[in-house]
Amino acid sequence: MRPGQPITVTCTDLDDEGAGVGESAGHAVHVAGALPGERVTAAVEHVSRRSPVAWARLAHVEAPSPARRPAACRAFGACGGCVLQELDYPAQLDWKRARVARAIAAQPVLRGLGVGVCVASPRPLGYRNKSKLVAARASGRFVLGAFAPRSHDVVDLAGCRIAEPPLDDVAEALRAILDDAGVRPYDERTLTGDLRHVILRVNADGQVLAALVVARPLADGPALAARLRAARPEVIGVVEHVNQTRGNAIFAEGGSAERVLSGAGELVDRVDVDGRRVRLPLSASAFFQANRDVAGLAYAAIARALAVRPGERVADAYSGVGGIALALAPGAGEVVGIESHAAATARATTAAARNGAANARFVTADAAAGLAALDRADVVVLNPPRKGCDAAVLAEVARLAPRAVAYLSCDPDTLARDLAALAARGYRTRAVTPFDMLPHTPHVEALAILERAPAHTA
């Protein structure tokens, strides 16, 4: 097999990036855009030198899958963001459940552990509450878009169907204002221009916070912000964030000069947890689940499974702005949130006061260090980044010996690895439930509930 060679492949599955996978000439071939059950023709683009694996570009679908559907976004395929849009939504949920099940089955100690049905997003489209847009000129036109896969070519995202209304309309209004004002998009090759990114965040009430990420402050920033708020009244605030670094990070690491150009500098969103509203103050850069509906379903599942009792202490590691901690606070004696980012800890503390959770406190610390500072925890919540928990974190969980652990993961493989490590420390996984936080993408969240095995019960 060689690059440029035409091949025919029958796809049997999707890989973790959402590309179809089949076999040809003894090679496992990955074809982006192909779906399971389809026979496709493709052109080989790359062949691994170390293993019989190849990647190919889809040319034609000869035998389409019954689950194939028209893509909702006109930028589908070019932007690379929602690669499963052409797969029927129920089929997406089945595949995501199977992906979690495969990761679990790969750990011998977990074999036989069942994985529940993937919880669907109430809104498969229009669910994403935050848009991260790159400023650029494409074909001579000022655009707000996204980098195309494996390149820094910018694809116009006007008309995005994944963004929650009214983010796309606000983006178009802002684009026109910036273009009319002659604002220059930043060019990372020549280090010229001013505007790097636009971040738009919408809350459950339809209010929008806009952030202009710039290489240097805009002289007419306040006037531009005022024009946007006049054109789109749902925009309650516009902030400017200066990022002078040369890397790919949207926001400058370690903080940056940030100013409010007009209106509010943050907005308050809410998560509905079994009929109770948890209110969270958010800046443009704060991490919060992109799908608040599914976040609420996951938080409610955690609360029901843990059934925290009066007088118990909850330790919430990787607590972020405090969503899960505050969802558990009403039934607990005390909730301790542990988060390494000081800004998130500060907002979580504000959120505790806003929600009347006098029994919740938040500390700025590495997860392992924060857990090590506790003398006891009856229940532990883990919600780590994609890399999962460090061994030191799992060791501290075992030392605290909570009666139950809830582990919300954004990566099935690291979840399975950590569940196996906890099994060796006396914790039995009772249930694993996937949640479709990001429909039309390969991403899947999974919630595992663990309990201390009887032999390890104090």
The predicted-structure confidence for 101-134, as pLDDT tens digits, reads as follows: 999 999 999 989 999 999 999 999 999 999 999 9
- pLDDT for the residue numbered 256: 60
Percent of the chain with pLDDT over 70: 98
Q: How far is CA 433 from the centre of its chain?
A: 17
User: What CA–CA distance (Å, rounded) separates 296 from 176?
Assistant: 35
Q: What is the pTM of this model?
A: 0.94
Residue 356 has pLDDT above 60, yes or no: yes
Question: What Rg do the C-alpha atoms of the chain give, in angstroms?
Answer: 23
- pLDDT for the residue numbered 152: 81
In this structure, the number of other CB atoms found within 10 A of the CB of residue 140 comes to: 5
Percent of the chain with pLDDT over 90: 89
Residue with tokens 């604002």: 183
CATH 2.40.10.120 fits 291-456, yes or no: no
Q: What confidence category does residue 139 fall into, taking pLDDT thresholds of 50, 70 and 90?
A: confident
Q: What confidence category does residue 258 fall into, taking pLDDT thresholds of 50, 70 and 90?
A: confident
Residue 379 has pLDDT above 60, yes or no: yes
CA 438 → CA 44, 153, 197, 199, 320, distances in Å?
A: 30, 24, 22, 18, 19
CATH 2.40.50.1070 fits 130-269, yes or no: yes
Residue 378 has pLDDT above 80, yes or no: yes
- pLDDT for the residue numbered 132: 96
Write down the domain spans for the chain.
6-63, 130-269, 291-456
- pLDDT for the residue numbered 254: 64
The predicted-structure confidence for 184-232, as pLDDT tens digits, reads as follows: 999 988 889 999 999 999 999 999 999 999 999 999 999 999 999 999 9
- pLDDT for the residue numbered 153: 86
User: What CA–CA distance (Å, rounded) separates 244 from 309?
Assistant: 49
Is 73 a residue of the active site?
A: no
Among residues 82, 160, 389, 410, the one annotated as catalytic is 410
Whether the CB-CB separation of 196 and 184 falls below 8 Å is answered with no
Query: What kind of architecture, by CATH, is found in domain 6-63?
Result: Beta Barrel (2.40)
- CA atoms within 13 A of residue 330's CA, in its CB half-sphere: 11
Query: Which amino acid appears at position 423 of this protein?
Result: A
User: What CA–CA distance (Å, rounded) separates 121 from 293?
Assistant: 7
Residue 134, both tokens: 């790159």
HEC profile of 419-438: HHHHHCCCEEEEEEEEECCC
Domain 130-269 and domain 291-456 have a common topology: no
Residue 392 has pLDDT above 80, yes or no: yes
